[in-house]
């Protein structure tokens, strides 16, 4: 096949060599790798905070961490995982790498701005790490006033500035993606031929540029309030602490969609591939991404049912919250319909897809519990909430990220990992995750509040189960890290299209050349044309 | 932007600039007048007019593509969402009573 001559070209990984060539690169693929390394480091840091939380909660007494230290640990777990891992996770790595390739472009519209966004991310993240070293911050990742503005004596300002700066990195990424989708599509790549991963990243980018300025200004106001006593949030001088929650959740609810929409995009790619079928209701899935992005901006008050927010506003927010479940359900049903009567193959991507669908379903349905005002009075600030958002953000977001990482790993690195190990790891992650977080639904429903280092003894059994699950989950993650790194060193060379997938990214060599394509591709087929897709070539890999 | 073939003429720029100066003068004038409840709305109206002039003419949105116009408008629409849904709380706090509150 012509693959043989194509493979002789030096890939983006090796041309040119040297650290400086990586740190000054304008290649979207190399920037994606820089992001991948950075978010992996932050995932490890955030994960070690989680380990400390779970270790403390093995016993009902607060014996491992003091109350103050525990406050700092769960705050930093949240800040690191949300702002420095989950938000950039899929868009800045898989999105950065594959979005341009999927639409037939040589790079993003603004390669230098893409590199700048990574540097801004590093500066913001470093500032937040500085806050950790200086003694931490203890407000919770939500920085609620008046605690963050007038009471806390920890490094709120430094951490808030770190979040503020990192915000610009996601604004720049979103802006870059939007311009790229509008201006850089190859001839024949019409909007409705774009892979759903591109649609999902496009919708995510809209949320990034419309929402992130609000959180940036809000955390800046916290810093200003602390330094200058402006009185924006301080009721003693005319401010309103609830205003902070309005501004914060105006961004932070849509931010959940920044974390989950790209994951839904990944799952659409994987579902089509494992079913070897066109996605059922392609345009519904595409538009549901946009619907989620837009309706997601109208529901933020469901985080504020037990504040001073008016009951009437609560009703409105509650009803719209039920509505936002509709486009998510559209996606879930369409994926299921895609798999129905599909030629489902038991490759490792299927494991991540099924894991995602199960966990996201539980996460989504428990979200409806919390969106119902009366029930939320009981469940607010309990472990039920903690379990719910971990099912969405870890069960959904991280499963999809790992699924995408496994699916695209051969293309990104040019190496294959061990398929049996991947299946074992995906099941470890799935069972470990459920063991960690399912007991939290029960213990939360029984009334265990979040954010305390001690708890009544009758809750212990659930917490021990949870910590045991977290250990399995951690082992699963560690295993993935090990065999993926090992595959770079010793893994067999990946063929051009190991999964027999459709899409431009599978028609170029693995790993791609710096400019992705030898000549600009002309697109003549619809997305997911699995009737004409090549057969998987993973089995005939040559060991070298 | 590459797609904007028309550019504002010098004359038009000068006229917009003069309009901005007049509006600035008006801002200073009404700052010294007590209009009662109208103080803030009038000041906001003048400020919005000035911002609109800058965006439409100086920033060239008038001559740009529909996409650019959509982007310019949607930024403000999203700000309105924040205000509208926020005020949907602040202005309705007395509407429905809660036992014990
Ligand atoms: Cu929410």
Q: Convert the pLDDT of each residue in B43-72 to its tens digit.
A: 899 999 999 999 999 888 888 889 889 988
- Cα A404 from Cα A409, distance rounded (Å): 8
pLDDT of A544 reads 39
Asked if A295 and A253 touch (Cβ cutoff 8 Å), the reply is no
- Cα A147 from Cα A150, distance rounded (Å): 6
* Residue numbers in A near B97 (CB within 8 A): 311
* Residue numbers in B near A242 (CB within 8 A): 89
CA of A311 from ligand 1 middle (Å) equals 17
Task: Give residue for tokens 């903690």.
Answer: A386
Choose from A252, A312, A374 for mutation: most chain B CBs within 10 A. A312
Asked if A103 and A170 touch (Cβ cutoff 8 Å), the reply is no
- Cα B16 from Cα B36, distance rounded (Å): 30
Q: How far is B72 from chain A (nearest CA, A)?
A: 11
In the numeric block, which tokens belong to residue A480? 């993935």
Residue B100 covered by a domain: no
Residue of B nearest to A320 (CA): B85
Say if the Cβ atoms of B93 and A316 lie within 8 Å: no
In the numeric block, which tokens belong to residue A164? 């503020």
Closest CA to A162 of A42, A255, A244: A42
Residue B1 covered by a domain: no
DSSP string covering A325-361, please?
Answer: HHHHHHHHHHHHHHHTTS----SHHHHHHHHHHHHHH
Provide the number of structural domains found in chain B: 1
- Cα A312 from Cα A306, distance rounded (Å): 13
pLDDT of A24 reads 92
Q: How confident is the model at residue B6 (pLDDT cuts 50, 70, 90)?
A: low
Residue of A nearest to B101 (CA): A308
- Cα A451 from Cα A53, distance rounded (Å): 10
Q: How far is A527 from chain B (nearest CA, A)?
A: 25
Question: CB-based contacts of A431: which residues, under 8 Å, 6+ apart?
Answer: A469, A472
Residue B5 covered by a domain: no
Say if the Cβ atoms of A313 and B82 lie within 8 Å: no
CA of A253 from ligand 1 middle (Å) equals 4
Give the phi and the psi of residue A493 in degrees, each rounded to 5: -65, 140
Task: Give residue for tokens 């200073």.
Answer: B28
Say if the Cβ atoms of B88 and A182 lie within 8 Å: no
Say if the Cβ atoms of A312 and B85 lie within 8 Å: no
Q: Cβ of A18 under 8 Å from any chain B Cβ?
A: no
Domains of chain A: 25-540 (1.20.210.10)
pLDDT of B1 reads 43
CA of B83 from ligand 1 middle (Å) equals 18
Q: How confident is the model at residue B100 (pLDDT cuts 50, 70, 90)?
A: low
Closest CA to A159 of A83, A214, A232, A66: A83
pLDDT of A8 reads 57
Of A214, A309, A310, the CB nearest to B82: A214
Tell which A residues from 212 to 271 touch B, by Cβ distance under 8 Å: 214, 242-243, 246-247, 250
Q: How far apart are the first and last CA of chain A?
A: 19
pLDDT of B95 reads 84
* Residue numbers in B near A250 (CB within 8 A): 82
CA of A215 from ligand 1 middle (Å) equals 14
Residue of B nearest to A305 (CA): B89
Say if the Cβ atoms of B96 and A301 lie within 8 Å: no
pTM for the structure as a whole: 0.92
Closest CA to A197 of A543, A528, A457: A528
* A310-314, A389-393, B33-37, B95-99: least confidently modelled range: B95-99
Q: How far is CA B9 from CA A285, A538, B6, B14, in A?
A: 46, 63, 9, 9
Residue B14 covered by a domain: yes
List, for chain A, all residue ranges whose pLDDT scores fall below the cut of 70.
1-8, 539-544
CA of A299 from ligand 1 middle (Å) equals 7
pLDDT of A539 reads 60
Q: How far is CA B62 from CA A181, A205, A257, A427, in A?
A: 23, 25, 33, 56
Task: Give residue for tokens 């995906």.
Answer: A426
Q: Encode pLDDT of A244-254 as tens digits.
A: 999 999 999 99
Tell which B residues from 61 to 100 touch A, by Cβ distance under 8 Å: 67, 74-75, 78, 81-82, 85-86, 88-90, 92-98
Closest CA to A53 of A451, A460, A455: A451
Asked if A474 and A51 touch (Cβ cutoff 8 Å), the reply is yes
Q: How many alpha carbons fall within 13 Å on the CB side of residue A529?
A: 13
Of A210, A214, A310, the CB nearest to B89: A310
Task: Give residue for tokens 């991963």.
Answer: A197
Of A182, A247, A301, the CB nearest to B89: A301
Residue of B nearest to A175 (CA): B71
Of B74, B81, B93, the CB nearest to A310: B93
Sign of CA dihedral A66, A67, A73, A76: negative
Say if the Cβ atoms of A297 and B78 lie within 8 Å: yes
Domain range for B79? 10-95
Say if the Cβ atoms of A310 and B74 lie within 8 Å: no
């Amino acid at each position: 096949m012509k693959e043989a001559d194509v493979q002789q070209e030096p890939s983006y990984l090796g041309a040119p060599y040297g650290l400086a060539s990586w740190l000054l690169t304008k290649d979207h693929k190399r920037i994606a790798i820089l992001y991948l390394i950075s978010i992996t480091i932050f995932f490890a840091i955030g994960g070690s905070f989680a380990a400390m939380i779970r270790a403390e909660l093995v016993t009902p007494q607060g014996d491992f961490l003091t109350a103050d230290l525990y406050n700092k640990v769960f705050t930093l777990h949240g800040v690191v995982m949300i702002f420095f891992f989950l938000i950039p996770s899929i868009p800045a790595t898989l999105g950065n790498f594959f979005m341009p390739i999927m639409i037939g472009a040589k790079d993003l519209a603004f390669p230098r701005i893409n590199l700048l966004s990574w540097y801004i991310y590093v500066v913001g993240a470093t500032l937040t790490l500085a806050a950790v070293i200086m003694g931490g911050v203890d407000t919770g990742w939500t920085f609620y006033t008046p605690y963050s503005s007038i009471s806390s004596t920890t490094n709120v300002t430094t951490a808030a500035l770190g979040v503020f700066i990192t915000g610009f990195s996601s604004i720049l990424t979103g802006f870059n993606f939007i311009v790229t989708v509008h201006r850089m599509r190859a001839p024949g790549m019409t909007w409705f031929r774009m892979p759903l991963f591109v649609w999902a990243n496009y919708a995510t980018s809209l949320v990034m540029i419309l929402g992130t300025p609000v959180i940036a200004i809000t955390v800046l106001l916290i810093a200003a309030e602390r330094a200058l006593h402006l009185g924006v949030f301080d009721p003693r001088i005319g401010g309103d602490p609830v205003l902070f929650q309005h501004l914060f959740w105006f961004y932070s609810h849509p931010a959940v969609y920044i974390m989950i929409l790209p994951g839904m995009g990944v799952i659409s790619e994987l579902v089509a591939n494992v079913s070897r079928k066109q996605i059922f209701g392609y345009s519904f899935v595409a538009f549901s991404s946009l619907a989620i992005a837009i309706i997601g901006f109208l529901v933020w008050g469901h985080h504020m049912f037990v504040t001073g927010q008016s009951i009437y506003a609560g009703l409105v927010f509650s009803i719209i919250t039920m509505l936002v479940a509709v486009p998510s359900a559209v996606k879930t049903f369409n994926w299921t319909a895609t798999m129905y009567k599909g030629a489902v193959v038991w490759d490792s991507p299927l494991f991540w897809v099924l894991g995602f669908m199960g966990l996201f379903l539980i996460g989504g349905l428990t979200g409806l519990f919390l969106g119902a005002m009366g029930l939320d009075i009981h469940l607010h600030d309990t472990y039920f909430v903690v379990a719910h958002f971990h099912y969405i953000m870890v069960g959904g977001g991280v499963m999809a990220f790992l699924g995408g990482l496994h699916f695209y790993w051969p293309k990104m690195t040019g190496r294959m990992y061990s398929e049996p190990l991947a299946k074992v790891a995906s099941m470890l992650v799935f069972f470990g995750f459920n063991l960690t977080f399912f007991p939290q639904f029960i213990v939360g429903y029984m009334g265990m509040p979040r954010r305390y280092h001690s708890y009544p003894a009758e809750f212990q059994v659930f917490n021990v189960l949870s910590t045991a699950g977290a250990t399995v989950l951690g082992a699963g993650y560690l295993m993935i890290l090990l065999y993926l790194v090992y595959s770079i060193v010793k893994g067999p060379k990946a063929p051009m299209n190991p999964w027999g997938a459709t899409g431009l990214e599978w028609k170029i060599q693995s790993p791609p050349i710096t400019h992705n394509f030898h000549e600009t591709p002309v697109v003549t087929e619809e997305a997911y044309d699995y009737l004409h897709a090549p057969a998987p070539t993973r089995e005939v890999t040559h060991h070298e | 932007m590459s797609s904007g073939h028309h550019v504002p003429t010098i004359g038009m720029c000068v006229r917009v600039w003069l309009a901005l100066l007049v509006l600035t003068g008006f801002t200073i004038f009404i700052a010294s007048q007590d209009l009662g409840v109208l103080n803030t709305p009038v000041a906001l109206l003048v400020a919005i007019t000035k911002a609109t002039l800058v965006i439409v003419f100086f920033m060239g949105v008038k001559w740009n593509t529909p996409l650019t116009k959509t982007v310019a408008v949607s930024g403000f629409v999203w700000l309105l969402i924040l205000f509208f849904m926020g005020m949907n709380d602040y202005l309705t706090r007395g509407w429905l009573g809660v036992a014990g509150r």
